[in-house]
């Protein structure tokens, strides 16, 4: 947690073990618990910690607490699927705290005011190679640099960002935001070599005299599916379509576009097609909505923009200007089965959005590495079977999101640092702060702030950003909706309700201490603590 640990001070000449008094069987003890938002964040952010500063209007302090774990807050505030909000205890009262929108506000505020990272005071003398300048690689490079190591990033593409640049459309992530946050990372003294594809990782490490490396190659190879097609049928892959949007020559998809797949990439392509002028953009998906892997809010946004979704359907034939679709049904296990019912649809182009694979050719002939189902097996410390070679992001078994990638980069960096030192990073976590630990009597209803949204007409015809940012007033309000689950925020309730004057204030930011000479163990402080930061424990005998 962001504040100092509690101190328990006893009267002179007493001890915790034997000074219990004849009247007391339980004693109150201050505790720190792990907030559910922090626990759910794949990037490992101390969310409650930076919200604590934000609700006080201390925005730079909030941003600096945030970037201890995530160097891309303005990006994350736009593309993260915010599992923290789904886990927020406030959902049991009204709605979860808009953590993602406050994070975006802080990220944008940092860009507006030009806040920069503080460079480390000392250098370790160690050199680390990072392969790939996507979210995981950039995160690892940042954390390694902050730990004092010299970092070089080798990126095969023409610009940094990985799938943030070449897989996420501009209406979700403006490129000036991405460029600014990448630049701030590189300003730490990190070397970036663009257009540099690593053919053999061992040779590259030897040539550059690197002491360790982190592999963060993105999943840029589109998966294919066999669809009988005529010679004139136009079949593309989603990765190529989205990547081509970064160039001057935009893809020519036609008026009738069919996207085959059910993930977030399929939705991105379908929404992009509408913005490129398609009169009809249809997603064909083999299962129903309940089993669609895309996030619900993205499905809703796509449908608002006029994207159609043909559920329980599969493409069986593609020809010039049309496709044949077969209706499917789900069996008892939820697997789609053919029905023999067909229909024909217009389609100037068919875009396959069936997932992506990673190019692992750079690992050929590296001893000790284990590759299963197209990904690299790593240990709990993110290291592969070859000493000094670590991997994360799309290259390892995990959910493929920007937030997960950023978390992998941080974890790998800290483990690389520990490996250099011959130890292991600290992994201590407090016990969780569930909703049952809170005293909600002290909280009033405060509905979640709705983020501004671009009007439908412009969403269908331009690549302007769809979701807007909160202003300072709304961001401050949203931060103040945090319940500070499991951690004292110095509300003075314990101090005010104690009938024995056993609670002593230690000063702002120092919390409280208990004088057990006066405490009779009534438990009022624990029952009245709004955030569950006091626990009653049995006296020692």
Please report, for the chain, the start and end positions of each structural domain, with discontinuous segments joined by +. 1-32+487-541, 36-115+438-479, 127-220+358-421, 223-354
Domain 223-354 has CATH 3.50.50.60: yes
This prediction has a pTM of: 0.90
Q: What is the pLDDT of residues 347-405, one digit of tens each?
A: 999 999 998 889 898 998 899 889 988 899 999 999 999 999 999 999 998 899 999 99
At 541 the pLDDT is 62
Pick the CATH number of 127-220+358-421 from 3.40.50.300, 3.50.50.60, 3.30.2320.80, 1.10.287.610: 3.50.50.60
Cα 326 → chain centroid: 37
Q: Which of 185-199, 223-237, 260-274, 366-380 has the lowest mean pLDDT?
A: 223-237
Say which CATH architecture domain 36-115+438-479 belongs to. Answer: Orthogonal Bundle (1.10)
At 423 the pLDDT is 80
Q: What is the mean pLDDT of residues 193-221?
A: 94
Q: Percent of the chain having pLDDT more than 70?
A: 96
How high is the mean pLDDT of the chain? 91
At 428 the pLDDT is 75
Domain 1-32+487-541 has CATH 3.30.70.20: yes
Q: What is the pLDDT of residues 389-438, one digit of tens each?
A: 999 999 998 899 999 999 999 999 999 999 999 887 777 788 899 999 99
Q: What is the mean pLDDT of residues 16-44?
A: 81
Instruction: Judge whether 238 and 253 are in contact, CB under 8 Å.
Output: no
Q: Percent of the chain having pLDDT more than 90?
A: 77
At 22 the pLDDT is 56
Q: Exposed (0-12), middle (13-18) or buried (19+): which is 512, by Cβ within 10 Å? A: buried
Tokens 């944008």, residue? 108
Q: How far is CA 149 from CA 33, 70, 143, 268, in A?
A: 33, 18, 9, 37
Do the first three CATH levels of 127-220+358-421 and 223-354 match, i.e. the same topology?
A: yes
In the predicted structure, residue 14 carries a pLDDT above the cut 70: no
SS3 label, residue 151: strand
Query: Which of these, 138, 140, 51, 137, lies nearest to 100 by C-alpha position?
Result: 51
At 71 the pLDDT is 97
Q: Which residues contact 363 (CB under 8 A, 6 or more apart)?
A: 201, 215, 369, 371, 376
Q: What is the pLDDT of residues 267-312, one digit of tens each?
A: 999 999 999 999 999 999 999 998 899 999 999 999 999 999 999 9
Query: Which of these, 349, 336, 401, 169, lies nearest to 267 by C-alpha position?
Result: 169
What is the rounded CA–CA span in Å between residue 496 and residue 476? 27
What is residue 34's DSSP assignment? B
């Amino acid at each position: 947690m962001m504040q100092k640990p509690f101190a328990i001070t006893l009267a002179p000449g007493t001890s915790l073990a034997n000074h219990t008094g004849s009247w007391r069987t339980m004693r109150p003890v201050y505790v720190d618990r792990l907030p559910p938002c922090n626990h759910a964040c794949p990037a490992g952010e101390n969310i409650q910690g930076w919200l604590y500063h934000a609700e006080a209007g201390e925005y730079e302090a909030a941003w600096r607490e945030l970037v201890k774990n995530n160097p891309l807050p303005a990006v994350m505030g736009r593309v993260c699927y915010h599992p923290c909000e789904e886990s927020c205890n406030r959902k049991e009262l009204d709605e979860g705290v808009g953590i993602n929108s406050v994070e975006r506000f802080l990220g944008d505020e940092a860009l507006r005011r030009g806040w920069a990272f503080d460079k480390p005071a000392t250098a370790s003398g160690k050199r680390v190679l990072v392969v790939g300048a996507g979210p995981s690689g950039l995160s690892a490079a940042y954390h390694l640099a902050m730990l004092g190591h010299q970092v070089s990033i080798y990126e095969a593409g023409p610009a940094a960002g990985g799938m943030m640049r070449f897989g996420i459309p501009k209406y979700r992530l403006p490129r000036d935001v991405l460029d600014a946050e990448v630049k701030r990372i590189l300003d730490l003294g990190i070397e970036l070599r663009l257009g540099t594809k690593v053919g053999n990782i061992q040779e590259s490490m030897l040539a550059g005299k690197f002491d360790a490396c982190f592999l963060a190659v993105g999943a840029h190879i589109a998966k294919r599916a066999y669809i009988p097609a005529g010679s004139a049928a136009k079949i593309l892959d989603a990765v190529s379509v989205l990547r081509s949007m970064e160039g001057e020559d935009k893809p020519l998809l036609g008026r009738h576009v069919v996207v085959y797949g059910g993930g977030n990439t399929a939705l991105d392509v379908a929404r992009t097609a509408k913005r490129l002028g398609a009169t009809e953009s249809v997603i064909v998906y083999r299962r129903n909505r309940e089993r669609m892997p895309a996030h619900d809010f993205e499905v809703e946004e796509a449908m608002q923009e006029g994207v159609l979704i043909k559920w329980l359907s599969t493409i069986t034939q593609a020809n010039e200007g049309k496709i044949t679709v077969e209706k499917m049904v789900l069996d008892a296990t939820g697997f789609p089965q053919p029905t023999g019912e067909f229909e024909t649809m217009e389609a100037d182009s068919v875009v396959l959005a069936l997932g992506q694979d990673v190019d692992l050719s750079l690992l050929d002939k590296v001893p000790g590495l284990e590759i299963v189902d197209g990904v690299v097996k790593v240990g709990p410390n993110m290291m592969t079977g070859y000493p000094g070679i670590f991997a994360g992001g799309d290259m390892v078994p995990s959910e493929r999101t920007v937030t997960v990638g950023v978390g992998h980069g941080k974890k790998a960096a800290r483990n690389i640092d520990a490996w250099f030192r011959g130890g292991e990073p600290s992994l201590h976590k407090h016990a969780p702060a569930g909703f049952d630990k809170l005293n909600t009597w002290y909280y009033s209803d405060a509905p979640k702030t709705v983020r501004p949204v671009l009007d439908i007409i412009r969403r269908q015809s331009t690549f302007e950003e769809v979701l807007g940012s909160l202003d300072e007033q709304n961001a401050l309000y949203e931060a103040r909706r945090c319940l500070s689950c499991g951690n004292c925020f110095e509300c003075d309730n314990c101090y005010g309700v104690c009938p024995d004057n056993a609670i002593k204030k230690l000063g702002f930011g120092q919390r409280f201490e208990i004088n057990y000479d006066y405490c009779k163990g009534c438990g009022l402080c624990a029952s009245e603590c709004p955030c569950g930061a006091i626990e009653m424990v049995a006296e020692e005998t």
